[in-house]
Chains A and B, each alone.
Chain A
Amino acid sequence: MTNAIIDLTHLVKKFGKQTVLKDINLQVMSGEIVGLIGPSGAGKSTVIKTALGMELADGGSATVFGKVMPNRQLLARIGYMAQTDALYETLSGRENLKFYAQMKGIHKSEISDSISHVADVVNLADDLDKRVSGYSGGMMRRLSLAIALLGNPELLILDEPTVGIDPALRRQIWKELNAIRDEERSILITTHVMDEAELCDKVALLLGGKVIAFDEPVVLKMQYKVDSIEEVFLKAEGEFK
């Protein structure tokens, strides 16, 4: 437990009278890809927002890098990609990257290297100087991912990163995510694509405000006696009801 990058224990989050998260226990170790799956409205984004310190926990604790969130300084070490693309459409891809790099506090001399590196990863190097308003949906998603990768953060929090990205590129992105994992960096990823969940080191199943299962995909499949994570998901959801 000592090297848990994200550590959520008995996390409770309420919005008004509605309790969205009842009891969340989730750890992300260094060098680990953790997939967060669950039906829409289960609270996946709320888990992420609490981990980032955008929301305050109503109960339990949320620590990142061993420090209690919210903590502004820690955000420099986290790469975040939201569900919405969150790009400035009148600016070019390069200008978007440069702006977020400055916001992250990446040193001036490293900015252009960092930009060309992340642009290569998401295969956008040729289109960097076009305005984002002329990008396709998939290109915007890739640029958004590139922004999260800027500055080699120790922790990546990705909310549905591969929506609208074609299979070949998705494979390339997962190759990069695995490379990041191999550098002992950590990734928390939410996804709807179940075969992507198979690629994670661990999968957390979020249902009714609780993490009802959290283990390696192989173990989960054995536990539920099924062949794929998709069936685990369906079976768990069925049992829950």
Chain B
Amino acid sequence: MRTIAIMNRVIKELLRDKRTLALMFLAPILILWLMSVIFTANSTTNVNVGTVAISSSVSTNLNQVKHVNVKHYQSTKTARKALKDDKIDAIIHKSGNDYTITHANTDSSKTSAVKMAFRSALVAANVKTMKTQLGAAKATINKLQKMLPVQAQQKLRAQSQGQVSASKQSASPKITNHYVYGDSSTGFFDKMLPILMGFFVFFFVFLISGMALLKERTSGTLSRLLATPVKRSEIVFGYMASYGILAVFQTILIVVATIWLLGVEVVGSVFNIIIINLILALVALAFGILLSTFANSEFQMMQFIPLVVIPQVFFSGIIPMDSMASWIKDISYVIPIKYSGDAVTGIMMQGKNLTSFGLDIGVLLIFLVVLTILNVVGLKRYRKV
């Protein structure tokens, strides 16, 4: 079988290229580890807020909000200077009954943190005022009650006690959080991981297989290969088999590393994830081989990265698609990583079965078949039969 002979040769070549192997297997783990550190370590931002002419209750409450420091300023002028000098991130100024907040707005997360903190502080202050008012009202009611006849007093007391106990229950609702997937530390990284995993498989298989076929072409081995009775399809299938095997190992390594090293929870079956990534790898391979025919050198192959690989990230689902214009959403339907990302996310986070991703797998298989046919036909450029 020539296909197997080609597969053996490609694998042998890859195994002897230690640097490329290291790139395929160690680089994804390094990047994943870095990302997990970056995206999970410090998700809170500390903000400094300057206040001018703010009631003490509001400013105390503001100070009590976590990660917020409050500084008082006598006038707007000094506060503005502090803002300019980057000492504070926002100024809250009260004139009459209205509040004016001036944000430095150099960091959007800080801006929203200030907004949130101020709102909650204001609510807390309002509640406090209401409480004191309520207390005063109660005292008045008690006074009035004492003036009433004894029978009516008892009746009222019983009623108000019931009310008090009821209001006690509703006064401080206890909030308990339940997480379907992961725990309170589950963050952005966990959402990205299934897509990133696909991206690594896609990126490395695309690049390395494209380069490999390009080298076959420029070194003349491809035309020599085609001067033997080998079928064009046997060459393409030989490459698919070898890079398919490579992708299986790469996926296993990435999955194991993410589970053991990064402590990410995989609800579904690891086997299913491997299947999806294997199909994705074959799509990437067919894509890489196809595009390598349009490149005349390794450098030209690299030029496909910003054109082909990077857009995959944008439309893969890492950036929420809901907010995008509908025509942009349509682009994502031709992005292979979107389908693998959807499927792997479902398997990893919701423990779904392969069968529930029939559509995603189907689309990936269509990509695969079309690209493979294009490749087999495309080799006709180098031999007419």
**Bound CA span A162–B226, Å:** 22
Report the interface size for chain A: residues with CB under 8 A from the other chain: 31
Q: B228 is contacted by which of A71, A90, A91, A104 (Cβ under 8 Å)? A: A104
Rounded to whole Å, the gap between the CB of A182 and the closest CB of chain B is 25
Q: Which B214-261 residues have C-beta < 8 A from chain A? A: 219-221, 223-231
Q: A55 is contacted by which of B5, B225, B384 (Cβ under 8 Å)? A: B384
Q: B229 is contacted by which of A54, A76, A90, A95 (Cβ under 8 Å)? A: A76
B2 in contact with A103 (CB, 8 Å): yes
Q: Which residues of A contact B12 (CB under 8 A)?
A: 90-91, 95
B385 in contact with A72 (CB, 8 Å): yes
B231 in contact with A72 (CB, 8 Å): yes
**Bound CA span A72–B380, Å:** 12
Q: Which residues of B contact A90 (CB under 8 A)?
A: 12-13, 16-17
B382 within 8 A of A: yes
B220 in contact with A78 (CB, 8 Å): no
B191 within 8 A of A: no
A88 in contact with B229 (CB, 8 Å): no
Number of A-B residue pairs, CB cutoff 8 Å, is 76
Q: Which residues of B contact A147 (CB under 8 A)?
A: 224
Main secondary structure of the interface of B (DSSP, over half): helix
**Bound CA span A102–B224, Å:** 13
Q: Which residues of B contact A70 (CB under 8 A)?
A: 383-385
Rounded to whole Å, the gap between the CB of B196 and the closest CB of chain A is 30
Q: Which residues of A contact B219 (CB under 8 A)?
A: 84, 86-87
**Bound CA span A71–B385, Å:** 7
Binary B-proximity of A49-60 (CB < 8 A = 1, otherwise 0): 000111110000
A54 in contact with B223 (CB, 8 Å): yes
**Bound CA span A83–B219, Å:** 11
Rounded to whole Å, the gap between the CB of B231 and the closest CB of chain A is 7
Rounded to whole Å, the gap between the CB of A143 and the closest CB of chain B is 12
B229 in contact with A56 (CB, 8 Å): no
In the complex, residue of chain A having the shortest beta-carbon distance to the beta carbon of B222: A86
Q: B13 is contacted by which of A85, A88, A103, A104 (Cβ under 8 Å)? A: A88
Assuming the contacts A71-B385, A95-B12, A99-B5, asked whether A88 and B227 have C-beta atoms less than 8 A apart, the reply is no
Assuming the contacts A82-B220, A86-B224, A103-B228, asked whether A54 and B384 have C-beta atoms less than 8 A apart, the reply is yes
Q: Which residues of A contact B13 (CB under 8 A)?
A: 88, 90-91
B382 in contact with A54 (CB, 8 Å): yes
**Bound CA span A71–B384, Å:** 9
Q: Which residues of B contact A73 (CB under 8 A)?
A: 229
A75 within 8 A of B: yes
Q: Which B9-43 residues have C-beta < 8 A from chain A? A: 9, 12-13, 16-17
Rounded to whole Å, the gap between the CB of B6 and the closest CB of chain A is 8
A214 within 8 A of B: no
Q: Which 7 A-B pairs have the closest CB atoms?
A: A84-B220, A86-B220, A102-B5, A86-B224, A80-B227, A103-B228, A70-B385
Where the two chains meet, the residues of B that have a C-beta atom closer than 8 Å to any C-beta of A are: 2, 5-6, 9, 12-13, 16-17, 219-221, 223-231, 382-385
Listed by A's residue number, 25 A-B pairs whose Cβ atoms lie within 8 Å are A52-B227, A53-B385, A54-B223, A70-B383, A70-B384, A71-B385, A72-B385, A80-B224, A82-B220, A84-B219, A85-B220, A86-B219, A86-B221, A86-B224, A87-B221, A90-B13, A90-B17, A91-B9, A103-B2, A103-B225, A103-B228, A103-B229, A104-B228, A104-B229, A105-B2
